[in-house]
Amino acid sequence: MIRGVGLDLCEIARMEKLRMMTRFMERYFTGEEQEYIRSKGRNAAQTMAGIFAAKEALAKALGSGLDFDLREAEVAHDEAGRPFYRFSGKLPERARGTFHLSISHDAGVSGAVCIWEADAD
């Protein structure tokens, strides 16, 4: 059963400005996410915007707003490059089920869609 759907867009230019701000990076991204972003070279801001949009899309799918530490929702990638969430902290207690994530970039914007599937309560 689909429990929630979230969609978010993030302007890449906004992330380009914030990318060098250590405090912002540490507040919203895990160490692994920061390494992944840096590994993208000239596409780092685009990648950062996609990951940030994925976290916002998750909050919308959960219907909770940003009432959790965004670092508890790490965006990782499998061997084929497909993004997925890795939860930590208190988030696994609330976010039970299967989460589908898609991230895309075009025309200066990154977007993410999150679909939450879970059994009915």
Tens-digit pLDDT profile for residues 12-49: 999 999 998 999 999 999 999 999 999 999 999 999 99
Number of domains in the chain: 1
Average model confidence (pLDDT) across the chain: 95
Query: What is the residue whose two structure tokens read 């906004």?
Result: 14
Assessment of whether the complete model's pTM goes beyond 0.85:
yes
Domain that holds residue 9: 2-117
CATH number for 50: 3.90.470.20
Alpha carbon 6 to chain centroid, angstroms: 11
Calpha distance 76→95 (Å, rounded): 17
**Structure confidence by residue, pLDDT tens digits, 75-96:** 999 999 999 999 999 999 989 9
Show the DSSP H helices in 64-117 as ranges. Answer: 91-94
Nearest-Å Rg of the Cα atoms of the chain is: 14
